[in-house]
A and B are shown apart, each in its own frame.
Chain A
């Protein structure tokens, strides 16, 4: 079977910092953050990356998030498009309200309804769900299984997830500070994002490579050597170095250490500029990979990398900065890391 070139034909984002990809990138470049005390549950004084527009209303918060994303999409979704949905816990607020159901499946069904596309594929790979879904969708388009694929990633803030990470001792005492020497944990956030991929002649960008693997080492901690993450990056880049890296950058001690170790192994001489969205939005779980690709593409188009929100003193080896930076080209490497030792690397290029 002949493999077809795959282009990114459209992007969308629904976040606390804006309803368009451009607005979100403006916010990132201005160093804005989304952190506030949630009103839909008692977070014990913690600030999260919350979207007040999702408060109230009937039904699931997760469904409102998907509806907000649908409203943010300003491109046509061609007939016959396949839908790939990335989430970790999905409509978890329904379980919190007493409904005994598969919350990820409920999220999938809601996405099918809202986007009008049946027989969608749910992709769950912990916090690497977003990029895993994008890579799978790209592969299906490449091999001609479909002409277009819509990748949707989303997760909402919840008591369920916040208390779970608290029980693991993984939350920051304040808000997350990715790649900072004094980072002390992650902050939960909520967002949704979408990518339309297609077998076309051109587009606004293209995914040039993607790779995933597993550490096979520990169920919650990444391999601190970053060896397998580096291997995934190497495969995704296929010899072409990126102009910047959008890291997973959760702000936990171990995650950021593993990522910086992987990048040090890949780029021993000169490390590309590094940035994490988590300092602005918090960890948006199943959304983060799709959001990284959507915003990374726009940042690559502008040849700009935002200041690292939360940064005071960079951790050793991390090429991060407190000011916006110009980047030398339009190639971005985006990283996701998930529980269970899941690693994902996606290389993209703005056109």
Chain B
């Protein structure tokens, strides 16, 4: 498996990419980040028509996916799948919907908050933005990138944007399971893997 691109977003809205050594930010907010990143040469265009609809996690994942695609050289990603792995899941979104429901009652429940209560939603939004038509799923496993590699080896060969979201960071790699790559270290998360690969590069 080859890492064909990778990006890391920090809590200060800074982005770093692995292969092209991109450094972007810090932005005042994610809408500003989206606008300014669109001006970067070679940046995939993406469908950002619904960017404002998404919550913070959706926007963070979508922009990190965009930077990962840029790091991989851009082009089309319609063959790619998008996989979420470990991290924070959607516990915050679940709590957000439920608190809003309790505060505002049955008749005023907000469907937009409910939709966010699936851990796949940020990855589906990223797939829509980049036009990825491969599989989309979220896996929670033991904290080992070796286990993630095993799961990717189990699915049909192809390109997968794999992301992990925590409160502080979003890390994403573009894994190409069709290509042999250099051995990867086993890390507890994608953020740690990104930092190890960045230090080695």
Contacts and interface: CB of A to CB of B under 8 A. Distances in A.
Interface of A: 44, 88-89, 92, 95-96, 100-105, 108, 119, 121-126, 132, 136, 139-140, 142-143, 145, 160, 163-169, 211-220, 228, 338-342
Chain B CB within 10 Å — which of A89, A108, A212 has the most? A212
B141 A119 contact: yes
B98 A340 contact: no
Interface string B91-132: 100110110010000100111001101111101110110111
A228 B135 CA distance: 11
Interface size class of B (residues with CB under 8 A): 35 or more
Given A102-B89, A136-B154, A341-B127, A215 B114 contact: no
Contacts of A125: 120, 135-138
Contacts of A102: 88-91
A8 B169 CA distance: 41
Given A101-B91, A125-B137, A214-B82, 15 more contacts: A102-B90, A121-B139, A121-B151, A124-B120, A125-B135, A164-B109, A212-B135, A216-B130, A217-B128, A218-B128, A339-B124, A341-B124, A342-B135, A342-B136, A342-B137
Given A139-B154, A215-B133, A167 B95 contact: no
A215 to B, nearest CB: 7
Contacts of B78: 216
B127 A214 contact: yes
Contacts of B133: 213-216, 228
B81 interface: yes
B120 A168 contact: no
A-B pairs with lowest CB-CB distance, top 9: A340-B124, A164-B114, A139-B154, A122-B140, A167-B109, A167-B111, A168-B111, A212-B135, A102-B91
B121 A339 contact: yes
Contacts of A168: 111, 114-115
Contacts of A212: 135, 137
Given A166-B109, A167-B110, A213-B134, A122 B142 contact: no
B132 to A, nearest CB: 6
B123 to A, nearest CB: 8
B45 to A, nearest CB: 14
Given A140-B154, A167-B114, A342 B98 contact: no
Interface of B: 50, 78, 81-82, 88-91, 94-95, 97-98, 101, 106, 109-111, 114-115, 117-121, 123-125, 127-128, 130-142, 150-151, 153-156
A63 to B, nearest CB: 17
Contacts of A164: 97, 109, 111, 114, 117
Contacts of B114: 163-165, 167-168
A103 B81 CA distance: 25
A160 B82 CA distance: 27
A142 B141 CA distance: 20
Contacts of B154: 136, 139-140, 142-143, 145
Nearest to A106: B91
Nearest to B89: A102
Contacts of B151: 121, 136, 140
Given A102-B89, A340-B127, A214 B111 contact: no
A282 to B, nearest CB: 17
A106 to B, nearest CB: 10
B118 A214 contact: no
Given A164-B114, A216-B128, A121 B141 contact: yes
B102 to A, nearest CB: 9
A331 to B, nearest CB: 21
Given A124-B137, A143-B153, A160 B98 contact: yes
A108 B136 contact: no
Contact of A95 (B94, B111, B137): B94
B124 A219 contact: yes
A160 B153 CA distance: 36
Contact of B132 (A123, A214, A220): A214
Nearest to A122: B140
B80 to A, nearest CB: 10
A214 B120 CA distance: 12
